[in-house]
Structure 1
Amino acid sequence: MDTNCCEVLEAAGLKVLRPGTQAYAIREESYFSVAAQLEPHCIVQPTDTAQAAQAIITLKTLTTCNWAIRGGGHMTWAGASNIHDGVTLDLGLINQTEYVHEKKIAKIGAGSRWGEVYRALEPYDVTVPGGRTSTVGVAGFLTGGGNNFYSSMVGLGCDNVINFEVVLASGDIVNANKENNSDLYKALKGGSCNFGVVTRVDMQVIEARNLWGGQVIYPLSTTEDHIAAYVNWVDNIPSYVQGSAVTFWAYSPAAGDIVVSSALHDTTGTVRAPAYKEFLSIAPQISDTLRTDSHLNMTVELEEPLGYRQVWITLTGKNDARFIRKAVEAQSSFIESWKASQDADFLNYITFQAMPTVLFEQSIARGGNVLGMDREKGNAILFQMQHMVRNADQEAEARHRLIAMRMALKDYAKDIGTDVEWEYLGYADESQNPLATYGRENVAFLRDVATKYDPESVFQLRVPGGFKISRLE
């Protein structure tokens, strides 16, 4: 093992954070999930693209150390964007956002978090279709797809990137767009960290002032009404693509029970548009935060508690009430089993998000991506469960149980004909294999692009974290 890599990086004039220092501790503690907080030999923080290239060349040619790539640090599982025996290449200082008014483009540093981006763009009355939680990182969100408030209107976040600036394993800095390196451009729209280090993204902006929306909380007894409302919402999206609705079933010890929450957001700012009538008619309601507010503040509201080890799993099904109902039942059983055998200090959320065909059509219209959802002929729903615990033993037990629960739901969906192959990389656990769900042609394309731009397989062998194309069968 080469533990001299930190000295080599320092000798190259790069900013290096060492264990035992306050700066190192702050960066490690800033990962969203405690499970992702590891102990790299050191953290190297480039301040611009040139320094990122220098760090990559130094690590590649002068050390045998492996490394990890960190953007916002929001992936939940250990090793996705951090490393224990090696170096973490932390892009957190590459976080500037520049608005180019004449081109209606935002140039965004890949180490930014979405809250920083929205704050920078607010004075210009524009925004971009980024994360719905302000602390989500830019690069990981976009290279994994990027569901957003505006998805039905403009497609996923990745579909609105017009250029990626990328440092290749060779140290070369290239731009990937429709005209230059177009194969890399497409591969980065869903292909994750298999080709190089993204240091900047240029996105088409959306003219936007305030949104209308917030969260409405209901008792668990309204479950059937919500299932019906969500299925109808998904089917009716083409008649109102400006809207967004995500329904949660959430458990916390403080509440003592599961509650249902509808996160409703209208990108036009229209107050109580008719499209939301079915949700807003459900009674009783416990509380709501519905108001007119900025894109930034809407994403701040959706922040989640820190200090937990997060275990996430995901799968996708056709827009069918049976699929939602079965998942809600599975959550209830999971929580009761957990309460009977484990520490009471835990949180559990499940969410349902629309993946309508109109969204896939927007992706195609903007040049396509590699996710493969355009294969689907009907509307779909993205399901996610988040289980949050305090210690490593509980995390391991939760993962074991969640994997079994996910497979049971998958088998049920297959049995009733509602299964959708595709999995959303941004919500997937380390036990999942989302790249393999993109379809045979896209997987072959990703392999070809990885081989072309990284012929030595540096990002497969020396950057072991994340979902790797080389690990597919």
Structure 2
Amino acid sequence: MSGRVVLFLLASVAAVAQAQNSTCCEALRGSGLEYVYFRDTPAYQERNISYFSVSAQLDPICFVQPTGTADVVKTVNILVKHPACLDTKFAVRSGGHMQWAGSNNIDDGVTVDLGLMNSTTLESNGIAAVQPGARWGAVYEALDPFNYTVVGGREHAVGVAGFLTGGGNSFFSARFGFAADTVKNFEVVLANGEVVNANLNENSDLFQVLKGGGGSNYGIVTRFDMYAVAITKLWGGVGIWDTSYREQHINAHIKWVDNVEKYPPGSTVMAFTYQPVLGGSVILNFHHDTEGHVAAPAFDDFLAIPQVSNTFRIASHTEMADELELPYGYRNVWFTTAVRNDPRIYNKIVDLHNQLTEEWKSEGDPDFMAETNFQAIPRSFTEHSLANGGNILGLDQVNENVVMNLFVIAVRTRDLEVKATEKIKAYGAQIEAFAASVDGLVDWRYLNYAGGGYQDPLASYGEESSAKMKAASAKYDPTGIFQTKSPAGFKLSNSRAGS
């Protein structure tokens, strides 16, 4: 058979598959679902370009936007049971902030976009009912007038569902643990169309695995009932320092990690970053005090270092989240590790970040960003989790305060993304090898920062967590719909945790 004939046959098969998937989209629209967007419509384009990372802007046959739980049930039933949809795969999107291709979108399938399910309601019992398609900035804005907030994302545009089902590190985490541990109840649509609640008393096994195990492994979460936190204002903002103060910052952060449990209102992220808009390479620190104490002594070691500038002030939770918005329009490539609080490892990671930055400049790309940041993951997170029914993250196996590192490069084109991915993987391997060589590598990966296709956060949770996730998947999705028909995100079926 000639190569031309093979190509013709492959193209014919692809055309047939696209026609079938288009018929599935017609079935969704014909069911009475109001918001089904096809490729040739402005609404389709608007939804696709609204993804934070260009890497995640794929080519679904259509987007369907449910407006409530009943619409999600209808959507799932059609996707799973309608004859026109039996060969059509689907993805689920909430805020669209996960950075890698295939995390929350799909080529030639259906993307279930929860963006219209975005309300936040403060109940009289102190519970905030938050829909999955909301962005955290809008959640805080809805709660601010009542002097309440919830433990959520630090950036305005991050979506609720992905953040919470991936764990969720927050300004408030030293006080309350991961954001997922402040969820009292999940409302979930299962693959068979059933709506269930998952909490300490109902479906408690599902309740636990949704806290860090990735929601798309078990169903579609349609509401998060979260414990609201009384609040007035925060203190904090962003400080910029010259890179010549590297040693002082590393020392300050090491001390912070060792002592973070002594001052729970505090939060800090230390970043070494290269951004053309900032004039090149700088050190950034994101300091926040969730009880509004101005420049509390816990921050002294950082604030004693001479600064270029800062935005530290008293402001609302909404304003703080608005300030930390990441720029859109880039293809983002990420790698995350967890390490012991060792200055040798910090310095090695910063050296590698600087090396990557210089290497990438030689590519002739003037418009890129590179960053490595460090965040404390103290033992107290696990204690908060256990007090609220436990999560699935497996950090109970770590008996010390550790450091989470995120290593990033962001570029503009697909060709550059391919090169950047290979570099990030290679640099990530060097980080892990060095950390292991000084007995400082921690076998845990934060799902919300992990790189798709080359990192396996679910497996890093340990054997006990893997067994619980497998059991929950088998119980609540016995036919494996969310493993095979809905491939987006970190799947048990693609993880060593599911083997």
Say whether the fold is shared (TM-score over 0.5). Answer: yes
2:201 to 179, 191, 194: 179
- Within a 5 Å distance, the mapping from 1:237-316 to structure 2 comes to 237-283=260-306, 285-316=307-338
TM-fit CA distance, 1:256? 4.1
Q: Secondary structure at the match of 1:110?
A: coil
TM-fit CA distance, 1:321? 1.2
> Given the alignment of the two structures, is residue 23 of structure 1 paired with residue 43 of structure 2, yes or no?
yes
Structure 2 CA distance for aligned equivalents of residues 253 and 97 of structure 1: 37
> Given the alignment of the two structures, is residue 322 of structure 1 paired with residue 341 of structure 2, yes or no?
no
TM-fit CA distance, 1:472? 2.5
2:143 to 105, 114, 121: 121
Q: Is the 8 A contact 2:234 2:316 kept in 1?
A: yes
TM-fit CA distance, 1:364? 1.4
Structure 2 CA distance for aligned equivalents of residues 320 and 176 of structure 1: 39
Structure 2 CA distance for aligned equivalents of residues 342 and 92 of structure 1: 38
TM-fit CA distance, 1:340? 1.0
Partner of 1:389: 411
Q: C-alpha deviations, 1:202-238, integer Å up to 9, x for none?
A: 0001111110000111000000000000000011112
TM-fit CA distance, 1:362? 1.1
- Within a 5 Å distance, the mapping from 1:404-443 to structure 2 comes to 404-430=426-452, 431-443=454-466
Letter in 2 for 1:94: M
Structure 2 CA distance for aligned equivalents of residues 69 and 113 of structure 1: 15
Letter in 2 for 1:124: F
Q: C-alpha deviations, 1:393-426, integer Å up to 9, x for none?
A: 1001000000010011101111101110000000
Q: C-alpha deviations, 1:331-370, integer Å up to 9, x for none?
A: 0000111111241210112111110111221111111100
Q: Secondary structure at the match of 1:139?
A: helix
- Within a 5 Å distance, the mapping from 1:5-84 to structure 2 comes to 5-14=24-33, 15-62=35-82, 63=85, 64-84=87-107
Q: Is the 8 A contact 2:274 2:369 kept in 1?
A: yes
TM-fit CA distance, 1:427? 0.5
Q: TM-score, normalised by structure 1?
A: 0.99
Q: C-alpha deviations, 1:266-285, integer Å up to 9, x for none?
A: 000010111100000012x1
Q: Is the 8 A contact 1:251 1:259 kept in 2?
A: yes
Q: Secondary structure at the match of 2:458?
A: helix
Structure 1 CA distance for aligned equivalents of residues 262 and 106 of structure 2: 46
Q: RMSD between aligned alpha carbons?
A: 0.8
Q: Secondary structure at the match of 2:383?
A: helix
Q: Secondary structure at the match of 2:169?
A: coil
> Given the alignment of the two structures, is residue 379 of structure 1 paired with residue 401 of structure 2, yes or no?
yes
Letter in 1 for 2:71: Q
Structure 1 CA distance for aligned equivalents of residues 225 and 277 of structure 2: 42
Partner of 2:8: none
> Given the alignment of the two structures, is residue 134 of structure 1 paired with residue 156 of structure 2, yes or no?
yes
TM-fit CA distance, 1:133? 0.3
Q: C-alpha deviations, 1:105-140, integer Å up to 9, x for none?
A: 000001111011001101110000100001000000
1:150 to 153, 161, 172: 172
Structure 1 CA distance for aligned equivalents of residues 65 and 240 of structure 2: 42
Structure 2 CA distance for aligned equivalents of residues 38 and 367 of structure 1: 37
Q: C-alpha deviations, 1:149-168, integer Å up to 9, x for none?
A: 01011010000000000000
Letter in 1 for 2:251: A
List runs of 5+ in structure 2 lacking aligned partners: 1-16
Letter in 1 for 2:276: P
TM-fit CA distance, 1:143? 0.3
Partner of 1:469: 492
Q: Is the 8 A contact 2:37 2:44 kept in 1?
A: yes
Structure 1 CA distance for aligned equivalents of residues 43 and 395 of structure 2: 42
TM-fit CA distance, 1:461? 0.4
Letter in 2 for 1:54: K
Q: Is the 8 A contact 1:33 1:308 kept in 2?
A: yes
Which range moves more in the overlay, 220-229 or 3-12?
3-12
**Sequence identity, in percent?**
46
> Given the alignment of the two structures, is residue 362 of structure 1 paired with residue 384 of structure 2, yes or no?
yes
TM-fit CA distance, 1:253? 2.3
Q: Is the 8 A contact 1:144 1:425 kept in 2?
A: yes
List runs of 5+ in structure 1 lacking aligned partners: none
Q: Secondary structure at the match of 2:276?
A: coil
Q: Secondary structure at the match of 1:54?
A: helix
Q: Is the 8 A contact 2:408 2:424 kept in 1?
A: no
TM-fit CA distance, 1:471? 1.8
Letter in 1 for 2:378: P
Structure 1 CA distance for aligned equivalents of residues 278 and 490 of structure 2: 36
> Given the alignment of the two structures, is residue 104 of structure 1 paired with residue 123 of structure 2, yes or no?
no
1:230 to 240, 253, 262: 253
> Given the alignment of the two structures, is residue 446 of structure 1 paired with residue 461 of structure 2, yes or no?
no
Structure 2 CA distance for aligned equivalents of residues 24 and 109 of structure 1: 22
TM-fit CA distance, 1:177? 0.4
Structure 1 CA distance for aligned equivalents of residues 316 and 350 of structure 2: 32
Q: Is the 8 A contact 1:447 1:470 kept in 2?
A: no
Q: TM-score, normalised by structure 2?
A: 0.93
Structure 2 CA distance for aligned equivalents of residues 456 and 395 of structure 1: 36
Aligned residues: 471
